[in-house]
Structure 1
Amino acid sequence: MNNRQLFLQHVAQTSDAPLALEIEKAEGMYMWDAHGKRYLDLIAGISVCNVGHCHPAVVEAIQYQAQQYMHLLVYGEFVQSPQVAFATMLTQHLPENLSSVYFTNSGAEAIEGAMKLAKRYTGRTEIAAFNRSYHGSTQGALSILGDEYWRNAYRPLLPGIQHLEYNDFSSLELITNQTAAVIAESVQGEGGVIVPQREWIHALRNKCTETGALLILDEVQCGLGRNGTLWAFEQHDIVPDVLILGKALGGGMPLGAFIASHDIMWSLTNNPVLGHITTFGGHPVNCAAGLAGFKALLHEELIKDVKAKEQVFLQHLKHPAIKAVRSLGLMMAVELESFEVNKKVIDYCISKGVLTDWFLFASECMRIAPPLIIKEEEIKWACSVICEGLEKVLEK
C-alpha cells in the first residue's frame, strides 16, 4: 500500500472525502507535496500559522527546549520557565484584568476550562452562546456550538445551554442573574466572518456586567493579529472577563489558553482542590514555540500591514459570481451562489496550487485566512486563480 492508502486505512477519518494531499515540506507561505508540487497556503492551517510555516525562530525554540526538558509533571505543579515567560509576555499585552493564564492543549480544551471556571466562580449553571458559533468539538464545546446539524447526533448534551442570535438586541434579554457566562466569538468564524455591530457588542458587555454573568470572548480563530489588531476585542473597544486563545497561539504547535483575572482564576484552586487539571496542557516545548511565534509577530510588525493586505484582496476579488466579501483584516469569506459552485472553485484552485476551503456554517463561502506574512504579489496571484476558477466553473 502507498501512503495515501495507508492514511485511509489506518488514520481515523473525519469525512468520506478528505483532501488527502501528501505534504512533505512547508515553509513560509508554501507547502510542497510528495510530487514536488507547491501550494500557496490561503488558510494557514485554519488560522494557525500566522507567522508562516516553520518560522526559523519557532523551530529554533522547539529544538532548544526539547534538549532542556519536555514533560515533567502534570500542569501547574512545577515552575517551568517556558510557561512563565509566555504567560508573562501575553499578560503584558492584555488589559490589566486578564492577568492569569491557564494553558491547555487546544482551543476546545480552553473552552471547556472556561465553562467550568464560570460555573465555579459565579455559582450559577446556565450558559448562553450564539447560533452559528463554533467553539470546538468536545462534549462541552459541542453543547454550546451554534448549529443543530452537528449537535443533534450526540445528544444528550450539557443541560442549561441557551443559544441566542448574534447581533440581535432582543436576544440579550435572555441573559439573567442565573447566567454564569455568555460565550461569543469576537468575530464569528465558521458562520462566514460575521463582525459584531459595535452598539450590539457594547450592549452585550453591559448586560453581562449588569447581571453578573462573565463575558467570555473566543478568539481562537481571530486572535493574535488576524484582524489587524493583536486582539479583535480591541477593535470593539470592550474587555472580556475571560479570553479564549488557541490555533496561532502555539506558533504551529498545539496550544490553547483561557485567561482571566487572578481573582476569578483562583476559584479553581479550592473546593475542590485541582478544580481543573491537565497532563500536557502548557507543554514546555509548545510554550517555547508559542513565545517565539508571539515575539516574531510583534518584532516583525506583521500586524501593521494586515489592513492594507485586506484591501489588496478586496480590490482583486472582483467577479460577477462573487455575491459578497465579508472581512476583518486577513479573515475573509467570499460568498458564492452555492456550496456546489464553491467546492468546484476550491478544487480548481488546489489544482493550480492555491489552497483554500469553506466554512462549516457557510458552505457557500470560500475561506481566506492566509499567514500574515503573505506578500502583495502573492495576494494578486491568488485572486487571479480564484477568478479564473470561477470562469472555468461557470462556463460549464
Structure 2
Amino acid sequence: MSENSFKTTDDDSRARDEAAPEAGGGQALRPHAEDSFAEELKALAAADDRPRPERWRLSPWAVATYLLGGTLADGTVITPKYVGPRRIVEVAVTTLATDRALLLLGVPGTAKTWVSEHLAAAVSGDSTLLVQGTAGTPEEAIRYGWNYAQLLANGPSREALVPSPVMRAMAQGMTARVEELTRIPADVQDTLITVLSEKTLPIPELGQEVQAVRGFNLIATANDRDRGVNELSSALRRRFNTVVLPLPATPDEEVDIVSRRVEQIGRSLDLPAAPEGMDEIRRVVTVFRELRGGITADGRTKLKSPSGTLSTAEAISVVTNGLALAAHFGDGVLRSGDVAAGILGAVVRDPAADRVVWQEYLETVVRERDGWKDFYRACREVSA
C-alpha cells in the first residue's frame, strides 16, 4: 500500500470521528440508565430529604421509588423500571446499604441485568463499572491488569497497573456489577472472596493493597438454567445476600412489562407505537406463559414444554422484531403475521423435539381458540 493510501485512510478515519456523536449523547443506540432517566434521577434527588448512606446519590427510599415508580410531591412522574413485588426491591436496596454484596438470582429473562443496571445508576450515578462474566473471563477482569509497555519499560508500578471495574469501584466508593457470575470459572469467581469479606484487594507485585472506601458494594447476577454454569463455592455464596427475581406473576403483569419495554426500545429505533398491537402482545405473552407452564390459561389442557425458557425478555424481542416488520414491510400496525416468525424462532430451539411440541400446541390449542384464526393461519404459514 502506498503512502498516499495510508494518508487517505487516516483522513477518512478522522472525518468519521469528527462526525460521530459524543459518547453518551442523544444519538447512542442504547444509552446507560443514568442517561436515559437523568431527569427522573434529578427530580428524585431534589425531592429526597431522607438520610442517604455515604456516597449514595439517593436515599434507599428514593432508589426504591426510582425502580418501582411513583409520583413526587411536585407532580413529577417516576416511571416503573421493574414490575414485581415491592418487597424484593426493598430487600435488594437495603442489602446495598449494608456490607453484604447483592446476588440477583433467577431464570433467564427475569430482568436481573436490567435491575442491576438501574440499582447502580440510582445509587452511584454510574452503571458502567461492569464485569461481563463468560467462560473466558480472566482473573484480571476482577482484580487488575498491566500496561505491558510500561511494565516492560519501568517494571511494576501504580502507573503501569490497569484497574478493573471492581478496583475502581472500591477506590471511589461506588457500585460495581458482575454479570452472569456463574458463567465465570470457579477459580476466578473466588477472586471476589477477599474483596467481599476483607474489603481489600491486595497488589502483591507492589506490596500494596486497595481498601474499599465507604459506599462501595457489588451487585452480581446469576442463573442456573443455562448451560456452562459454574456453581458458586459456599465461601463465596456466604458473602452475598441472595434475592430471587421471579417470573411475572400474572398475564396482565407480563403484558405490562412487555409493552413498556417495547415502547422504550421502539422510541430509540424510531418504530411505531404499539397501542393498536396490544392484542398481538397479549397473544405472544399467552403463548409463552402456556408453553412455559405446561398448561393452558384456563387450566383445562396440559401441554408439553419446549426446551427454551420462553422468558419475558424473549417476548420483548419477538414483539420488537414484529414492530420492525410492521414498520418497514407493512402498514405500521402490529399484526399476527409480524410476530409469527419470531414466536416460531423462540419456541423451536431443538428442531426435532420442539417442532413436535409447537405443532401439537398449534393444532390442539391455537386452532380451537376463539378470535385466534388469523394468528393460527400466520403461524401455520411460517411453520410449513
Please confirm whether the aligned pair reaches a TM-score higher than 0.5, indicating the same fold. Answer: no
Greater RCO (CA < 8 Å, at least 6 residues apart): 1
Which structure's residues are more often helix, by fraction? 2
Please report the TM-score for the alignment, with normalisation by the length of structure 1. 0.25
When normalised by structure 2's length, the TM-score is: 0.26
- Structure richer in strand, relative to its length: 1
Larger radius of gyration: 2
